[in-house]
């Protein structure tokens, strides 16, 4: 199968306008006759379901939580980018496009990223109209701040709770459509299979997480907006319910999985403290606007931070990257934290932490200004660590945070299964090998509010869709598939918990497929993962039954999928022998330890086709063509 990204022809700046004009439309009177399933109610899913409802389609919206408002997007802290140039500091659509392509280490499609930059400005308008209380200046205009990898201030924010406010805006629009009866919501539902009929996605099978019923839903098109797979690593900044299940089951039905090894490790998280920890907490990147990162110059220096004089501190980011300083992109900041800790200069009990120090900022701006900017983050830090960051520097360490990889989609956000569209973090889309801060929220809302309404209309209008009901044998087959898996989990009655197996998988991935990867380690992981999977299916314990709220059963199913997915993640990391963005292969680095790309061999999207559990997947390459930017060695010096 040849991958066709369906990128419109013509000059970069005109592609999206032209494409919209050339796309077919669905007559307003006919829209309510078309059912669209949207799985997920994060920024991508909620905005898609609300917009499609506004247009008059019959929308069914699903999520695993008790309410659509709780999707993981709610936890995003720092902000959302848009090329508004309100600060008059030289921003433009071109610059946002360029920063994002470069930030992604030239592993994203030009046309997609350009479109993202174009619609970014509409997103902010839409959110303000919904009543999102963004931060303002005294004159009443919107305020901005800077994020890593950019030299302009283009990030809009609502204190440290931007994701919450954006998601509530999208959720409220969604609930408005529920009142208008264009959208029906199905909370407490977990999609466990995709139904494909005549080669097209025509429905899903879900488990009702309250009653345990297995339910069938048919539609003309399906959108997956089920988020990223960061929790494959067990400890991550993601919500504990985040999972790869929906995407993985779609993959098993024929949707290619692209670039799974592009995972993002966020430099500023609260370090790991113990075995029982269930998640890691992010300290927003925005803190690097005012906080300075340092470690002692001397290895093994155990003095408390205030006793270490200025000339014995190494502000290593400012030293190595004078033009971006503490605001280098995430991959660069994370790797450097690892390097200094590997040299024995890490701080805190474990030695796996660096300081993020606000002393100078508090001296310069005063405690009140810092409190206004980051108050809730400082409070959160204190609650977790019992230390006061106004007095002592924060200790931070990198953690898994975001996944650039995901289901492969074309320019229309359609996967390799016709009719199956993938939005938000669940697709592989626009961030290449490394996502810049404040651009995931932008992409999620771009996909949902401004892209899918056009592209799905074109699909529906140009595709002969025969009538399908849930009585079709494909539904019965999918339901049977789901039931068998659940029965199998319940029948093992072993002695290991899903959590302890997940923890072990996470450690394996973190050690061998984490911040820094090499051939021997990746091969080792490929030996260990199948063993762990085998152990899971022999010895997992899932007490109780399937016909009521059984959180451990839900969790066991997600861990089982991760045990399959982890192998693909590792295979992709092994095959890509270059370093790029978040994927650092020790075999491929510049003399000064920066990631060294190999554009000759790897300037492509790696899209993997499923061939069965434990079977080698088939690689399909989508070449990346750069017509407007010239890929160069990324430099933030």
Partner 1 sequence: MRIHLRIWRQPGPDAKGHFENYTVERVSPNMSFLEMLDTLNEDLIRRGQDPVAFDSDCREGICGTCGFVVNGRPHGPDSQTTVCQLHMRRFRDGDTITLEPWRAKAFPVLRDLVVDRSAFDRIIQAGGYTSVNVGGAPDANAIPIPKEVAEQAFDSAQCIGCGACVAACKNASAMLFTSAKVRHLALLPQGQVERTRRVLNMVARMDAEGFGPCSNEGECEAVCPKGITLDNIATLNREWWKAALKP
Ligand X SMILES: Cc1cc2nc3c(=O)[nH]c(=O)nc-3n(C[C@H](O)[C@H](O)[C@H](O)COP(=O)(O)OP(=O)(O)OC[C@H]3O[C@@H](n4cnc5c(N)ncnc54)[C@H](O)[C@@H]3O)c2cc1C
For position 45 contacting partner 1 by CB under 8 A, the verdict is no
For position 619 contacting partner 1 by CB under 8 A, the verdict is no
- The secondary structure element, H or E, covering residue 174 is helix 162-179
Contact set for partner 1, span 266-305 (CB under 8 A): 273-274, 276-279, 281-282
For position 141 contacting partner 1 by CB under 8 A, the verdict is yes
- Find out whether 243 and 410 touch, Cβ atoms under 8 Å: no
Sign of the CA dihedral running 268, 270, 273, 275: negative
Six-digit token pair at 557?
Answer: 């199913």
Rounded (5°) CA angle 363-366-372: 135
Residue closer to partner 1 by CB (options 73, 259) is 73
For position 550 contacting partner 1 by CB under 8 A, the verdict is yes
Least separation in angstroms between CB 241 and ligand X: 7
Six-digit token pair at 485?
Answer: 């898996």
- Find out whether 150 and 436 touch, Cβ atoms under 8 Å: yes
- Find out whether 392 and 356 touch, Cβ atoms under 8 Å: no
Six-digit token pair at 126?
Answer: 């839409």
Residue closer to ligand X by CB (options 77, 100) is 77
Q: Which of 496, 535, 598, 609 touches partner 1 by CB under 8 A?
A: 496
For position 157 contacting partner 1 by CB under 8 A, the verdict is no
Helix (H, G, I), strand (E, B), or coil: what is residue 355? strand
Q: Which residue from 457, 463, 431 is spatially nearest to 444, judged by alpha carbons?
A: 431
Choose the stretch contacting partner 1; rule: CB under 8 A; options: 179-187, 323-331, 558-566, 571-579.
179-187
Q: Which does 54 bind (CB under 5 to 8 A by kind): ligand X, partner 1, none?
A: partner 1
Exposure string for 423-459, b = 16+ CB within 10 A, e = fewer? bbbbbbbbbbbbbbbbbbbbbbbbbbbbbbbbbbbbb
For position 551 contacting partner 1 by CB under 8 A, the verdict is yes
Q: Which does 383 bind (CB under 5 to 8 A by kind): ligand X, partner 1, none?
A: partner 1
Residue closer to ligand X by CB (options 58, 242) is 242
Please report, as ranges, the residues that interact with ligand X according to CB under 6 A: 39-45, 62-65, 71-73, 75-80, 162-163, 189-191, 225-228, 237-238, 242-243, 245-246, 282, 401-402, 424-426, 438-441, 444
Q: Which does 589 bind (CB under 5 to 8 A by kind): partner 1, ligand X, none?
A: none
Q: Which does 496 bind (CB under 5 to 8 A by kind): partner 1, ligand X, none?
A: partner 1
CA 255 to chain centre: 18
Q: Which does 413 bind (CB under 5 to 8 A by kind): partner 1, ligand X, none?
A: none
Choose the stretch contacting partner 1; rule: CB under 8 A; options: 135-143, 213-221, 297-305, 341-349.
135-143
Q: What residues are labeled active site?
A: 330
Phi, psi of 127 (to 5 degrees): -65, -40
Axis-axis angle for helices 110-130, 93-103 (nearest 10): 120
Residue closer to ligand X by CB (options 15, 69) is 69
Q: Which does 227 bind (CB under 5 to 8 A by kind): partner 1, ligand X, none?
A: ligand X
Q: Which does 440 bind (CB under 5 to 8 A by kind): ligand X, partner 1, none?
A: ligand X
Distance (Å, whole) CA 256 – CA 417:
8
Residue closer to partner 1 by CB (options 17, 342) is 17
Contact set for partner 1, span 63-102 (CB under 8 A): 65-72, 74-75, 84, 86
Distance (Å, whole) CA 217 – CA 194:
10
Residue closer to ligand X by CB (options 377, 573) is 377
Least separation in angstroms between CB 378 and partner 1: 13
Six-digit token pair at 215?
Answer: 């339910």
Distance (Å, whole) CA 255 – CA 332:
32
Least separation in angstroms between CB 68 and partner 1: 7
Phi, psi of 145 (to 5 degrees): -135, 175
């Amino acid at each position: 199968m040849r991958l066709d990204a369906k990128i419109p022809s013509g000059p970069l700046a005109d592609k999206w306008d032209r494409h919209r004009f050339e796309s077919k439309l669905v007559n307003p009177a006919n829209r309510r006759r078309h059912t669209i399933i949207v799985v997920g109610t994060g920024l991508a899913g909620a905005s898609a379901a609300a917009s499609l409802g506004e247009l008059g389609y019959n929308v069914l919206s699903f999520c695993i939580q008790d309410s659509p408002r709780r999707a993981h997007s709610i936890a995003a802290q720092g902000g959302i980018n848009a090329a508004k140039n309100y600060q008059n500091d030289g921003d433009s659509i071109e610059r946002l496009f360029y920063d994002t392509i470069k930030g992604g280490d030239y592993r994203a499609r030009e046309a997609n990223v350009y479109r993202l930059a174009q619609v970014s400005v509409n997103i902010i308008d839409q959110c303000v109209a919904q009543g999102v209380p963004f931060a303002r200046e005294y004159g009443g205009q919107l305020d901005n701040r800077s994020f890593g990898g950019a030299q302009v201030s283009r990030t809009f924010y609502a204190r440290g709770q931007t994701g919450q406010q954006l998601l509530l805006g999208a959720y409220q629009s969604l609930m408005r459509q529920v009142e208008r009866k264009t959208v029906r919501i199905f909370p407490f539902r977990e999609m466990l299979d995709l139904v494909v009929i005549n080669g097209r996605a025509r429905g899903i099978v879900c488990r009702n997480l309250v009653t345990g019923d297995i339910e069938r839903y048919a539609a003309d098109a399906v959108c997956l907006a089920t988020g990223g797979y960061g929790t494959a690593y067990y400890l991550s900044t993601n919500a504990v319910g985040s999972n790869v299940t929906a995407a993985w089951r779609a993959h098993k039905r024929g949707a290619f999985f692209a670039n799974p090894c592009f995972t993002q490790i966020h430099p500023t998280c609260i370090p790991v403290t113990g075995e029982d920890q269930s998640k890691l907490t992010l300290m927003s990147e925005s803190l690097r606007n005012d906080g300075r990162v340092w470690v002692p110059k001397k290895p093994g220096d155990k003095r408390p931070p205030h006793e270490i004089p200025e000339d014995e501190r190494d502000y290593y980011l400012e030293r190595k990257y004078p033009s971006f300083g503490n605001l280098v992109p995430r991959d660069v900041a994370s790797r450097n934290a690892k390097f200094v800790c590997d040299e024995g200069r890490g701080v805190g009990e474990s030695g796996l932490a660096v300081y993020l120090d606000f002393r100078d900022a508090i001296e310069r701006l005063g405690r009140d200004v810092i409190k206004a900017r980051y108050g809730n983050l400082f409070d959160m830090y204190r609650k977790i660590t019992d230390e006061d960051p106004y007095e002592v520097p924060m200790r931070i360490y990198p953690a898994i945070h975001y996944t650039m990889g995901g289901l492969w989609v074309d320019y229309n956000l359609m996967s390799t299964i016709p009719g199956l569209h993938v939005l938000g973090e669940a697709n592989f889309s626009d961030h290449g090998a490394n996502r810049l801060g404040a651009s995931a929220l932008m992409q999620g809302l771009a996909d949902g509010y401004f892209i899918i309404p056009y592209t799905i209309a074109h699909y529906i209008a140009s595709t002969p869709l025969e009538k399908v009901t849930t009585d079709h044998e494909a539904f019965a087959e999918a339901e049977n598939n789901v039931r068998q898996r659940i029965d199998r989990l319940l029948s093992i009655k072993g002695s290991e918990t899903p959590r302890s197996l997940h923890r072990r998988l996470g450690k394996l991935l973190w050690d061998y497929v984490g911040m820094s990867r090499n051939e021997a380690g990746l091969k080792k992981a490929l030996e260990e993962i199948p063993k762990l999977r085998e152990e899971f299916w022999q010895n997992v314990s899932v007490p109780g039954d399937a016909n009521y709220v059984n959180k451990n059963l839900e969790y066991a199913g997600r861990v089982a999928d991760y045990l399959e997915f982890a192998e693909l993640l590792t295979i992709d990391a092994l095959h890509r022998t270059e370093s790029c963005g978040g994927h650092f292969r020790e075999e491929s680095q510049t003399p000064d330890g920066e990631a060294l790309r190999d554009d000759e061999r790897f300037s492509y999207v790696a899209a993997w086709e499923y061939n069965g559990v434990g079977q080698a997947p088939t690689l399909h390459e989508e070449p990346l063509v750069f017509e407007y930017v010239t890929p160069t060695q990324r430099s933030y010096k």
